[in-house]
Structure 1
Amino acid sequence: MLAIIGGSGLTQLSTLEIARREVVRTPYGEPSGALLFGRLRERAVVFLARHGYGHTIPPHLVNYRANLWALKHVKATALISVASVGGIRDDFGPGALVVPHQIIDYTWGRKSTFFEGGDEGVHHIDFTHPYDEPLRQRILAAGMATGEHIVNGAVYAATQGPRLETAAEVDRLERDGAELVGMTGMPEAALAREIGLPYAAINVIANYAAGRGASEKGILFDSIEVVLQDAMVRVRRVLEEVCKS
């Protein structure tokens, strides 16, 4: 069963034929909301809104461990994350879709592992390649099949939030090699790896990062909403195609 976590702009899947909702209790507290079970193009899918269905949970307070544990508990076999990001590269303008291949983690203070010592023990994961390559290729193939251009590969910088970055901070991220900046990619990707859940992401560029492109004088939030509304229609089309494969 494919799991989909939706971020800003994707708090629901309008084409998902919902069969039931389930509130899952976890050892790590409450997930962001009830899990929605249904079918997408005849494939069993479970959906979760990362920030809650009313978009009430900021990035640094998302209970990532509960979310991932719950999805694994209901026997999800793969997970696609959908998240909006800022574009650092010149050609990463609003509306572009990107499937990242690497992560740099700048977050702090988040519960980032299921293994905290004691009875849980200590567990080290290989995180050389943070995204599952076969799942990445399925997304890219779905983009080709639907005629949606998806950029193959980018370095995602995970920042703490909830505020956006300063122009100087984005300069630093670029020097570090980052090409996208978002707030929810970590520890989500690492937790998925810890529990053996193949994980890949579709990043929707909502705006140029601070100091880049049209955002040089500041971020225009009204325009972000318009971009996301259009882009998420295309993302849903890609997800439907993924469910056919």
Structure 2
Amino acid sequence: MATKKLQDLTASTSPGDADIMLIEDTTATKKITFLNLFNRIKTKLGLATVATSGKASDLTGLSTVATSGKLADTTKDASNRTITDAERTKWNGYGSSIDSLNSNWEKLGGLRFDHQFIASVTAEYSADNVLSFAGSQLYPGNFTNCAFLAVLNSTASTGKQSVYLIIMGAADAAPVLIKIDGGSEALYPKLAKTSSNRVYAVWSTAATAGIHTSLFKLY
């Protein structure tokens, strides 16, 4: 090849993986392929698996992140996950977990959600079927001057969903239970309270069933 200045060479707008570039270190002038330079840049940036010739780059969508400022906007597919769902939840401040939902719902006026499954419920009162919210038993000492909307749904084939309003007053006052969905309670789950003022999920006849309880704290 005749001697030419760099500025006189033909420009390459789409270098191939095997194309050679010059690189200078502290001891000598060396050569490096475009693919090796590309992979070294990826390593320095802490990006994903090293690319191989003929494999689509996993940098797809990086420009979107740089312009949008939201990591959730990064392009990803089944074989190329730029960030995990857990990371997206943490970094963008939203998610599908109960804690994430409650964090956002509380900004709307104190609404919180909780759910529990009571495996064995009978007409008898026991510590196993007392309702709880956010890890605490529903008792006036723990929850005062607030209300809960309770949705009870039995797993028994004869069971039926029941909706109750639980009103907590002062610490020494018994909670008020109001059934608001109407209908008969025969073979349905229901709420009751004892002299301790704790609220229990019970069965309306002598039977055992699993009950799913969803509780919404209203204020």
- For the aligned pair, the TM-score class normalised by the smaller chain equals under 0.3
- Between structure 1 and structure 2, the one with the greater Rg is 2
Larger relative helix fraction: 1
The higher relative CO (CA closer than 8 Å, separation ≥ 6) is in 1
TM-score using structure 1 length: 0.23
